[in-house]
Amino acid sequence: MRITERTHSTDETEALGKLLAKLLEDNKISSAFIAMRGEMGVGKTAFTRGFAEHFGIVGVKSPTYTVLNEHKGRVAIHHFDFYRISDADELATVGYDEIIEGDGFTVGEWSENIEDMLPDDIITVTISRVGFDLAQENERDIEINIPMLEA
Ligand SMILES: Nc1ncnc2c1ncn2[C@@H]1O[C@H](COP(=O)(O)OP(=O)(O)OP(=O)(O)O)[C@@H](O)[C@H]1O
Ligand SMILES: [Mg+2]
């Protein structure tokens, strides 16, 4: 399944994150890897915050400095930021393999940095700015691909 939306505010992007969470839950999907793609400051963490809120988790912040933030709501959410990660050893240190095979959702920002180490059948969320002038400052095009759900 593929979903495309244009959002016009941080709130709308969070709402779309919530919508993805509800869609997965309604379809009894309780474990998946979600790769958040898009350049710096585009809204990957904002989308993740909305996603987590659906499961009763509030206050999701960027794991830029911590690499991994662990959250437990109705499901577990393992929120990674791979921005500073480049090799398998660094991932092993935080228990990456065990986490992605375990329960709950793994949400990974900057997973482009660890492309070789991603599992099969990942959900991708790609966010891009629509334009760079002031009028379009808060606009984002968001494409969600969910390979495990039929169109
Ligand atoms: N439509 C929008 N959707 C999401 N964020 C928006 C939107 N319009 C403006 N923003 C702003 O853009 C910023 C997005 O920040 P956020 O931390 O979510 O980005 P990020 O992609 O996670 O960045 P990083 O690569 O540093 O992790 C916030 O300041 C947010 O308020
Ligand atoms: Mg972020």
DSSP state string for 38-70 = -STTSSHHHHHHHHHHHTT-------TTTSEEE
On the 0-12 / 13-18 / 19+ scale of CB atoms within 10 A, 51 is buried
Please indicate whether residue 138, judged by its CB atom, sits closer than 6 Å to ligand 1: yes
> For the segment 71-130, what is each residue's pLDDT rounded down to a tens digit?
999 999 999 999 999 888 989 999 999 999 999 999 999 999 999 999 999 999 999 999
pLDDT value at position 117? 93
Position 137 pLDDT exceeds 90: yes
Please indicate whether residue 109, judged by its CB atom, sits closer than 6 Å to ligand 1: yes
pLDDT value at position 151? 80
Hey, what domains does the chain have and what are their CATH numbers?
2-145 (3.40.50.300)
| CA 119 – CA 100 distance, rounded (Å) | 8
Please indicate whether residue 69, judged by its CB atom, sits closer than 6 Å to ligand 1: no
Mean pLDDT of 6-25: 98
Nearest CA to ligand 1 atom 29: 41
| CA 73 – CA 55 distance, rounded (Å) | 5
Mean pLDDT of 12-18: 98
- The encoded tokens of residue 100 equal 């992605």
Nearest CA to ligand 1 atom 8: 138
Position 17 pLDDT exceeds 90: yes
> For the segment 35-64, what is each residue's pLDDT rounded down to a tens digit?
999 999 999 999 999 999 999 999 999 988
pLDDT value at position 14? 98
pLDDT value at position 88? 87
How much is the pTM? 0.97
Closest ligand 1 atom, residue 9 Cα: 1
pLDDT value at position 119? 95
Catalogue the E-assigned strands of the chain: 2-7, 31-37, 68-72, 76-81, 104-109, 123-129, 140-145
In this structure, which amino acid lies at residue 46? A
pLDDT value at position 66? 85
In the chain, the largest separation of any two C-alpha atoms, in whole Å, equals: 44
Query: Which residue out of 62, 80, 85, 113 has the highest number of ligand 1 atoms within 8 Å of its CB and is therefore the one to mutate?
Result: 62
Q: How much distance in Å is there from the Cα of 38 to the middle of ligand 2?
A: 10
pLDDT value at position 68? 95
On the 0-12 / 13-18 / 19+ scale of CB atoms within 10 A, 150 is exposed
pLDDT value at position 64? 81
